[in-house]
Amino acid sequence: MRHVEIADLAGQRVDNFLMSELSGVPRSRVYGMLRKGEVRVNGGRIRPDYRLKAGDVVRIPPWHGPAPNERAVPAPALLDQLAGRIIYQDAAVIVLDKPAGLAVHGGSGIQHGVIESLRVLFPDERGLELAHRLDRDTSGCLVLARNRSALLELHAAFRDASVSKTYDVLVYGTWPRKLRSVHAHLDRFVTRSGERRVRAVPEGKSSRTEFSIVQSGERASWVRAHPHTGRTHQIRVHSLVSGHPVVGDEKYAPDALLAQSRESGIRRLCLHASSVAFAIKGQFRRYDAPIPADFTDAWRRLGGT
């Protein structure tokens, strides 16, 4: 059993702190430690989103997993792929064009995600952390911080909604021209099978997404989404409650629509984080990730031009 007193890590979420302290421990195991009360702060239980304060004492249980030299490392092909998808990097941040199908972190049967792989690519950077997250099947702009001060600044920007994000989205059906803003209260829940999902309910957290039409067709529409809040699965659920779920969305789209798109040869969630803009170290920056070939191919298969 270890006890760590917090000094320069004040403001960091306890789950992210534990992922750094317990390198190689599956994320699911870290959350299990928190849920069972194995991890304590100042002698008490805490939630995974608890933000550490200076002077907090964290009790960390022992981990009897594989030794570091026994852990599998990401495949060289994956490391090469990610190295080639870095849009921008400097001393503070890395902006990556994340491929669809790759989780941002390991856990729940996923051995290596983006963060584990980039820590192999940059082995001397102990401060490398995700500034935010993208769903596993979403492609596009993902921001990582390379040091503690950059992480705190980015986290504050995301909390204050001062980060501007744009997503390109293919949705089923013809998007109504008058539907430009979707407001819904979203709540996370777990299904009986253990799957994490989100639903729109009055008691949920307020959320808003602006939509604009890029191209419109009978089978599908290409829209651009600008989320003003950062709720889990926000664009996917806002599209669903609007009557136009995201093409290829295996969590939320009806089976009949999924079957039609699969028959057309579409094998991805058609949601792409095409740009992100934020201020850091006194400079405003914007970065863009090109539309993937399989996204535009899906649009053509749905009758688009």
Which of 207, 215, 130 is CA-nearest to residue 170? 215
Tell me the longest C-alpha to C-alpha distance in the chain.
61
SS3 assignment, position 186 = strand
Q: How many residues does the chain have?
A: 305
Pair of tokens at residue 245: 């779920």
Please give the Cα distance from 163 to 182 (Å, whole number): 19
> In the annotation, is 135 catalytic?
yes
Position 269, amino acid: L
Identify the active-site residue in 15, 56, 97, 135: 135
Would you say 49 and 13 are in contact if contact means Cβ atoms under 8 Å apart? Answer: yes
User: Which residue's structure tokens are 């191209």?
Assistant: 215
Separation CA 298–CA 103 (nearest Å): 22
Cα 263–236–292 angle (5° rounding)?
60
How many CA atoms are closer than 13 Å to the CA of 217, on its beta-carbon side?
14
CA distance 26 to 99: 22
Beta-carbon neighbour count of residue 289 at 10 Å?
21
Neighbours of 130 (CB within 10 A): 20
Q: What is the DSSP letter of 68?
A: G
- Give yes or no for a contact between 52 and 58, defined as CB atoms under 8 angstroms apart: yes
- Which residues participate in catalysis according to the annotation? 135
